[in-house]
A and B are shown apart, each in its own frame.
Chain A
Amino acid sequence: MIPESYLWEPVETLALILKWLLPPAYLAALWAYGRAFFREQGNGDPVSVAKAAWAAPLAVHSGLLFALAATFRRCPLWTQGEALLFLGWMLLLLHVLSEWSADTRRLGVFTILPAALCATFSLFFLGRELELSPDYRSSWFIFHIVASLASYAAFGLAAVLASLYLTQHRKLKAKHFDRTFRRLPPLDRLDKLTAVWAFLGTLLMIASSAIGAWWVRRDSLHGMTVQEAGIFVALVIFLGVAASRRVLGWRGRRHAIGVLWGVAALAFANLWLHGFFRA
């Protein structure tokens, strides 16, 4: 009789292969986008090289998530590594949407970078990660966390665009018309894209908070944790940013700075304050 551990598990093998393919797929995409942004002259048209550069990471990343789901027979969101991998996937999806809506590939090298970092970092976490407390393993958790990660991805993208806005703004004010200035899209477009993603993130975070609040109340899980309080502060900042844009006309630089403050608060709450996961 052959021990069960000796049997070949095709789905697990596929997950293992995809896990190792993930960083090279992102690297290839980053290389293509980097060429489109930085290369001014040379052989070939760099922008056409970057066409659908996201296809390989999207295929590998989606495949890995499905393979993990098939292996564990559950939604791959119950550990920190899985959550980070899922966040990377959401960031990649939003990158594709952003490329389509901004109608330029020049931003690709910046907007795909957070997805690449999340995906690569998650690989170090997978296997020796903090696990979700059993009390929280509910389908409500999945709705809550998916909306929450989608909002983080939208905020992440908004933060990248806000940083690019501030870079371009600084260059315009300093009359420093270098290659980065020439390659980045117009200020107005960067401002509008930042506003769209930040607003979408705010809506998703409101939805996530509402689901979460309803769920913990129903199951009498806990009161507001320190981390949730921190996230709530970040949500208030984002609401303030959206309202000041609408009511006071705080567009451009002020809006970009507001978005970055919101993302900083969110990062602080998630990285330094205690939350769902336990050692």
Chain B
Amino acid sequence: MDEEKVIVFDPHYCSGCMYCMTACSTYNNGATSLSKSRIHIVRHEGHAITKMTDEDDLIFDVITCQQCDQPYCLYLCPVLAVERDNETGALMINQDKCVGCRMCMVGCPFGVILYDLNRKQVVKCELCGGDPQCVRFCASGALQFLPKNLAHLQKRDRLARKMIQLRSKASEEEPI
């Protein structure tokens, strides 16, 4: 299980180009349609930790399936169509079983399960079978696909950088 990887997002690098959404919808639907993308970029302004200068007021965040440990979609599915893949650790929708009742959509706290009107079934991020296309096509390097035990390193590095910056700023203002 140490091979299990997760999608890690760093808001500081994201430029909001939506390549990830384009890649996702193209790979999974065969046609580019941002509304059918399983990963979504949202914008919010001014982020306490990632904001370094005043110019950094537009910050993007990504909403995609978190592959939860205690997933409500898995418990709510009345036909056990939501299964966990043993290799990638992703929650998969078994299309042979899914009856399209949309109970999983009701339970998902992130709203990342989509309903496919053509197939009358739900679809969600399944990590593209272990090679997520959103990460592959991310232009700015904001999305990374890292093993679970390395996922926190980036955040730690970011905080350290921020602390150093703050400390140097403080020492300029009030020399000890």
The answer on A and B forming one complex is: no
